[in-house]
């Protein structure tokens, strides 16, 4: 059945690319070309990589979500078997992705097919080409996941492996879909959401079918119910992001039937509608007669795999939207035109939407407020202070990334440093004081049976060895401070700033590393590792010293930091890049004073409350059991007095 679906999907890819005019054709004389074998191998191998990724994800979903666990911590024997199946699929996925990267590299360079395993060629050029680099990252990620999950019996590890599979699957898909869009933020964000949604939908359905077809499947109705919840969210993500993503590639609605790209998208939409129709028909009847309607679900699976094939064909087809050639080096590198001369009032007041942070931030506020409403409807209270700090923290992230300052942050280190300090210092402090973990644990209901629900996944994460590792002071502090030095004092910054995806990664890293550190210092949520208040104070003081030193080094440096990024993208109206770097250093040196004052106040209040709790606990012990320490002390004095009298 798998081979048949694969053959049908590949046939569809070849057919629609031929009809759309995006198949291999002989180039003009003098233009290097790899030939039809490599030309057709590229989209086919890209599809097989996506297919293998879905198959790997489905195995991990069975192990972590569909099969009952042994004790909500360890996989059942069935889960262990499916986890091992997923691991084997992961190794295959890694190999196919690596092969796809090889063929794509040869195709782009116009070399012959016998150069596909040329190690020197891979080392020299592979990392410099975004689409090839993405496939190599996917191959490496698949290999790492398979190795780490190969011996596990933990439900948490299997679940985290599923999340990691989705993460690494996005690299090649987004880079392929973003080709030619420059740094278009909406294209990358919608593409990311589309890949995640499609992966969950298809892999979840494949996992459900594979599990239900097992003769000894335990609690099959529970598996159907759990998949239905995943499917609803996934379908919404796929439809909305698909519409947004397509709009970034067409100029007119009529291009959906007048262009080759539009023809493929139209077929993709039709396939999605057919799959939804089958799903709606089957889901209502599946619980009544599972064996009867299971074969119909296979038709839905085949349809979705054909839709994946159409997505691969679309990624290898030129879209009709007319792209204007970049007029300046700044536009070529960043994807945005050179901003007007800096006006700080405009920088902080003019809206410049970043879809990723706007959507993520809105979702974070909405989810938090939903938890608060659930508690209050239940009659429980929740701190207004915690709610306020969370909303302010998320709002600060949305604000600093959705104003014109974000455009200036691409070309000016001073603007970039304001954004960085807000994301890495101010916002995390406010988020930590919002106690989101405590709210989630109180608002979410425990899952019945031997399954892990959202609440159990949170507790499993907190209880894991990885949580204890990353919350160790010798890990949390270097991650928070050391990563700043690693980014700004190396070429890593140029690599990350060179793409919108890398820019998003920087934002996420600044927020999460800051959250991890301040969670350890002033967090009121449950922590895997409790630290004494004096040690927390020392950590805060050390972070302040390292931050100040970072600012001083930046101000005194004789060369442009960050791999020379801000030298390459310096706007024509910025007369002195080094002077702007000195300003950025002064911002880094001075910005932390106000946020750190908030940290000291919070730490002082928590320390005082902790001492009060200890004193109150001691008073209760004295009231119930008497002051044992004082009694022992008096007894010691009496013994000493008796001994001195005898002498």
Q: Supply the DSSP string of 357-386, one letter for each residue.
A: HHHHHHHHHHHHHHHHHHHHHTT----HHH
According to the per-residue pLDDT averaged within each range, which of 294-298, 366-370, 595-599 is highest? 366-370
Task: Give the total number of structural domains in the chain.
Answer: 2
Q: Are residues 426 and 297 in the same domain?
A: no
For 6, the enclosing helix (H) or strand (E) is: helix 2-20
Lowest mean pLDDT among 78-82, 180-184, 370-374, 441-445: 180-184
Q: Are residues 457 and 365 in the same domain?
A: yes
In tens, the pLDDT along 379-408 reads 899 999 999 999 999 999 999 999 999 999
pLDDT for position 5: 86
Confirm if 519 and 585 have CB atoms less than 8 A apart: no
In tens, the pLDDT along 116-142 reads 877 888 888 888 888 888 899 999 999
In a domain, 482, yes or no: yes
pLDDT for position 175: 65
pLDDT for position 602: 83
Q: Compute the distance between CA of residue 461 and CA of residue 14 in angstroms, rounded to an integer.
A: 44
pLDDT for position 178: 47
Q: Are residues 138 and 42 in the same domain?
A: yes
Q: Are residues 240 and 337 in the same domain?
A: no
Residue 161 maps to which CATH number?
A: 1.20.1630
Judged against a pLDDT cut of 70, whether residue 570 lies above it is answered with yes
* Average pLDDT score over residue span 453-471: 86
In a domain, 598, yes or no: no
Angle between helices 185-212 and 500-522 (to 10 degrees): 70
Q: Are residues 294 and 334 in the same domain?
A: no
In a domain, 274, yes or no: yes
Q: Are residues 337 and 308 in the same domain?
A: no
| CA-derived radius of gyration, the chain | 29
In a domain, 610, yes or no: no
Q: Are residues 309 and 339 in the same domain?
A: no
Q: Are residues 291 and 389 in the same domain?
A: no
Q: Are residues 310 and 355 in the same domain?
A: no
Q: What are phi and psi of 260, to 5 degrees?
A: -60, -45
Judged against a pLDDT cut of 90, whether residue 423 lies above it is answered with yes
pLDDT for position 289: 64
Judged against a pLDDT cut of 90, whether residue 47 lies above it is answered with yes
In tens, the pLDDT along 548-564 reads 889 999 999 888 888 88
Q: Compute the distance between CA of residue 25 and CA of residue 12 in angstroms, rounded to an integer.
A: 18
* Average pLDDT score over residue span 18-26: 82
Sign, CA dihedral 78-82-88-91, equals negative
In a domain, 612, yes or no: no
CB-side exposure of 412: number of CA atoms within 13 Å?
Answer: 29
pLDDT for position 527: 82
pLDDT for position 633: 55
pLDDT for position 402: 95
Question: Collapsing DSSP states into helix, strand and coil, what is residue 448?
Answer: coil
Exposure b/e, 342-375, CB count within 10 A at least 16 = b? beeeebeeeebebbbbbebbeebbeebeebbebe
Judged against a pLDDT cut of 90, whether residue 189 lies above it is answered with no
Q: Are residues 385 and 278 in the same domain?
A: no
Judged against a pLDDT cut of 90, whether residue 251 lies above it is answered with no
* Average pLDDT score over residue span 212-223: 78
pLDDT for position 282: 79
Q: Pick the last residue of a domain from 280, 315, 350.
A: 315
Judged against a pLDDT cut of 90, whether residue 580 lies above it is answered with yes
Which domain, by its residues, includes 53? 2-25+34-315
pLDDT for position 177: 45
* Average pLDDT score over residue span 207-214: 87
According to the per-residue pLDDT averaged within each range, which of 328-337, 547-556, 586-595 is highest? 547-556
Q: How many helices (H) and strands (E) does the chain have?
A: 30, 0
Pick the residue with more confidence: 111 or 141?
141
According to the per-residue pLDDT averaged within each range, which of 86-90, 229-233, 330-334 is highest? 86-90
Judged against a pLDDT cut of 80, whether residue 238 lies above it is answered with yes
> For the chain, what percent of residues have pLDDT higher than 70?
89
The pTM assigned to this predicted structure is 0.86
Q: Across the chain, what does the average pLDDT equal?
A: 85
* Average pLDDT score over residue span 72-93: 91
Q: Are residues 478 and 386 in the same domain?
A: yes
Q: DSSP label at 523?
A: -
Sign, CA dihedral 238-243-248-253, equals positive
């Amino acid at each position: 059945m798998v081979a048949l679906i694969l053959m049908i999907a590949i046939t569809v890819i070849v057919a629609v690319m031929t009809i759309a005019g995006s198949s291999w054709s002989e180039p003009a004389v003098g233009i290097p070309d790899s030939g039809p074998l490599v030309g057709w191998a590229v989209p086919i191998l890209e599809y097989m990589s996506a297919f293998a990724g879905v198959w790997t994800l489905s195995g991990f979903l069975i192990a972590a979500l569909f099969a009952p666990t042994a004790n909500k911590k360890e996989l059942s024997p069935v889960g262990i078997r499916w986890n091992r199946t997923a691991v084997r699929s992961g190794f295959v996925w890694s190999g196919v992705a690596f092969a796809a990267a090889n063929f794509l590299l040869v195709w782009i360079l116009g070399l012959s097919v016998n150069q596909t395993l040329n190690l020197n060629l891979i080392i020299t050029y592979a990392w410099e080409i975004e689409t090839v680099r993405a496939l190599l990252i996917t191959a490496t990620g698949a290999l790492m996941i398979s190795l780490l999950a190969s011996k596990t019996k933990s439900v948490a590890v299997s679940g985290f492996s599923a999340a990691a599979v989705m993460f690494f699957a996005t690299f090649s898909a987004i880079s392929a879909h973003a080709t030619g869009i420059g740094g278009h933020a909406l294209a990358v964000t919608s593409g990311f959401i589309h890949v995640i949604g499609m992966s969950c939908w298809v892999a979840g359905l494949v996992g459900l079918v594979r599990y239900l077809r097992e003769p000894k499947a335990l609690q099959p109705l529970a598996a159907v119910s759990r998949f239905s919840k995943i499917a609803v969210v996934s379908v919404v993500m796929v439809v909305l992001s698909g519409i947004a993503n397509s709009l970034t590639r067409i100029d007119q609605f009529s291009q959906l039937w007048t262009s080759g790209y539009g023809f493929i998208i139209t077929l993709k939409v039709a396939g999605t509608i057919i799959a939804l129709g089958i799903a709606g028909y089957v889901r209502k009847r599946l619980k009544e007669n599972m064996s009867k309607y299971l074969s119909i679900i296979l038709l839905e699976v085949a349809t979705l795999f054909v839709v994946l094939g159409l997505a691969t064909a679309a990624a290898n087809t030129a879209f009709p939207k007319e792209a204007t050639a970049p007029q300046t080096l700044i536009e070529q590198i960043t994807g945005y035109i050179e901003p007007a001369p800096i006006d700080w009032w405009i920088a902080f007041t003019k809206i410049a939407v970043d879809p990723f942070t706007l959507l993520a931030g809105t979702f974070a506020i909405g989810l938090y407020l939903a938890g608060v409403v659930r508690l209050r409807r239940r009659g429980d209270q929740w701190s207004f202070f915690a709610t306020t700090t969370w909303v302010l923290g998320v709002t600060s992230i949305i604000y600093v990334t959705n104003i014109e300052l974000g455009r200036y942050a691409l070309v000016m280190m001073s603007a970039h440093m304001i954004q960085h300090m807000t994301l890495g210092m101010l916002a995390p402090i406010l988020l930590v004081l919002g106690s989101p973990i405590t709210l989630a644990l109180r608002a979410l209901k425990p899952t019945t049976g031997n399954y892990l629900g959202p609440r159990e996944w949170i507790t499993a994460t907190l209880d894991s060895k990885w949580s204890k590792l990353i919350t160790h002071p010798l890990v949390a502090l270097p991650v928070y401070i050391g990563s700043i030095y690693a980014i700004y004092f190396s070429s890593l910054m140029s690599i990350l700033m060179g793409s919108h995806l890398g820019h998003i990664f920087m934002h996420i890293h600044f927020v999460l590393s800051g959250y991890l550190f301040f969670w350890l210092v002033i967090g009121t949520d449950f922590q895997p590792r409790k630290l004494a208040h004096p040690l927390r104070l020392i950590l805060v003081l050390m972070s302040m010293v390292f931050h100040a030193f970072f600012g001083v080094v930046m101000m005194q440096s004789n060369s442009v930091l960050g791999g020379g990024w801000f030298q390459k993208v310096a706007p024509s109206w910025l007369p002195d890049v080094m002077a702007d770097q000195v300003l950025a250093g002064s911002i880094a040196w001075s910005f932390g004073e106000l946020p750190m004052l908030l940290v000291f106040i919070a730490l002082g209040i928590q320390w005082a409350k902790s001492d009060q709790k200890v004193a109150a606990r001691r008073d209760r012990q004295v009231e119930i059991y008497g002051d044992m320490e004082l009694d022992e002390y008096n007894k010691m004095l009496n013994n000493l007095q008796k001994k001195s009298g005898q002498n």
